[in-house]
Structure 1
Amino acid sequence: MNPAVDSVGPAWSLPAMRAAQAQAWTAIERLAAAIHPGLRESEAKAVGEAIMADLGMGQAWHPMVVRFGANTLRVFSDRGGEDLTLAENDIFFIDIGPVLLGHEADVGATFAVGKDPEMHACAAAARDLWHRVAAIWNHGVVRGTALYARAAQEAEAMGWHLNLDVRGHRVADYPHPSRQAGKLADLDSLPTPGLWILEIQIRHPTRPFGAFYEDLLG
């Protein structure tokens, strides 16, 4: 570990971090299945929060984000925008950060409804790009700065634009000020497995929608 950026609390363990992520992925799939055309973002978020509570995931280290349509272009910190309604042919993403097994789980994924092929392709591309970039990282062989430079290149090669304002971040056991370590895209060292969330947000080259995917490196 690099002490300057890889500090953890006394409860942190890599197996627990991975198990927390796995539980969060189970939740996000259930949340996605409950979202359907006709819901507003605010309504979908309320449904998601009820499901999380039912799963015993009421505690979170960051608020749930649900974005529909054109709002899928907005970054996490942008809390403005219209409360959009999911259309019959549409795209949406969910981002959750529950505290599980005493660790800061963080997962996000994009889904498409209906028959718009480009929306389905965009949702799949965000996931596929994440896996391409994770393979480039190769368990801590490539620096964070180089990783996002390559991510931008890969996105363009796939026909999408990468949002470099979304740059990844630290996680650890909870509570722990791990996010003070800075962004993954600014890390001029090798990211340690199990401590960094790789975030990918892309946009369609001409149409007003995008996709988001995030998971733990390692």
Structure 2
Amino acid sequence: MSTAASTDSVGPNWSLPAMRQAQALAWKGVEQIAAAMHPGLRESEAKAIGQAILGELGMGEAWHPMMVRFGANTLRVFSDRGGEDLALGQDDIFFIDIGPVLLGHEADVGASYAVGEDPDMHACAAAARDLWHRVAAIWNHGAIRGTALYARAAEEAAAMGWQLNLDVRGHRVADYPHPSRQAGKLGDLDTLPTAGLWILEIQIRHPTRPFGAFYEDLLG
């Protein structure tokens, strides 16, 4: 198990204000990419559009590759790079996950969106965001251990009518370059997560239909 010292380690250039500002800048990138998505695009085309947008915003350097997932591929975890190059349907759901290096820090944000008129897909996209905020409120600036936090997240998801994917359990960030991912997963952390160092990831799925939603942001 990781020690508190290793899970809280940062490089010489890390600062909480810079970490927060990097996140805020990254969210502008996600929002612009989401606005450029439209039915008929394939995931590969969406990624190319997204990369161009990030380049125009000065966010071309990344510490993890951009992920854009449509439809049934929203059930796939980040490490699963397989699957069909799906096209976005008229009534569909998608998510965007980016990890740009900004202000010398490892920004990491992701969100889900729905297009068209499918009420379940719109509800799923909104639920991932709402569940994130519920779980962040439970965290309350380090009031609960990482292991217990994700146990509560699963309970909250079920109460909302969704299934939480516990294979997606959050991770460390810091200044760049920094071996933060060696600190393990937030959901495996048996200590209190420090503000500004952990990304809370939420991935849910519809209880009966083949799609899900994703949302992530910085705790603190």
Distance in 1, Cα, partners of 2:127 & 2:184: 26
1:158 Cα deviation (Å)?
0.2
1:4 Cα deviation (Å)?
2.5
SS in structure 2 of the partner of residue 4 of structure 1: helix
The residue that corresponds to 2:78 in the other structure is: 76
Distance in 1, Cα, partners of 2:101 & 2:26: 9
The residue that corresponds to 2:157 in the other structure is: 155
Distance in 2, Cα, partners of 1:78 & 1:11: 32
Runs of 5+ consecutive residues of structure 2 not aligned to the other structure: none
The residue that corresponds to 1:9 in the other structure is: 11
SS in structure 1 of the partner of residue 215 of structure 2: strand
Given candidates 119, 122, 127, the residue that maps to 2:121 is 119
Deviation per residue, 1:147-201 (Å, 9 max, x gap)? 0000000000000000000000000000000110000000000000000000000
Given candidates 127, 130, 133, the residue that maps to 2:132 is 130
Paired AA for residue 217 in structure 2: D
Distance in 1, Cα, partners of 2:210 & 2:79: 19
Distance in 1, Cα, partners of 2:180 & 2:87: 35
The residue that corresponds to 2:205 in the other structure is: 203
Distance in 1, Cα, partners of 2:152 & 2:169: 13
The residue that corresponds to 1:52 in the other structure is: 54
Distance in 2, Cα, partners of 1:159 & 1:202: 10
Distance in 2, Cα, partners of 1:168 & 1:47: 27
SS in structure 1 of the partner of residue 5 of structure 2: coil
Q: CA RMSD in A?
A: 0.8
| Identical aligned residues as a percent | 83
Distance in 2, Cα, partners of 1:57 & 1:127: 24
SS in structure 1 of the partner of residue 181 of structure 2: helix
The residue that corresponds to 1:170 in the other structure is: 172
The residue that corresponds to 2:88 in the other structure is: 86
The residue that corresponds to 2:63 in the other structure is: 61
Distance in 1, Cα, partners of 2:141 & 2:27: 21
SS in structure 2 of the partner of residue 3 of structure 1: helix
Distance in 1, Cα, partners of 2:194 & 2:57: 30
The residue that corresponds to 2:37 in the other structure is: 35
1:3 Cα deviation (Å)?
1.2
The residue that corresponds to 1:179 in the other structure is: 181
Check if 1:21 corresponds to 2:41: no
Structure 2 length-normalised TM: 0.98
Paired AA for residue 133 in structure 1: V
Runs of 5+ consecutive residues of structure 1 not aligned to the other structure: none
The residue that corresponds to 1:145 in the other structure is: 147
Check if 1:105 corresponds to 2:107: yes
Distance in 2, Cα, partners of 1:67 & 1:208: 13
Runs of 4+ in 1 over 6 A off after TM superposition: none
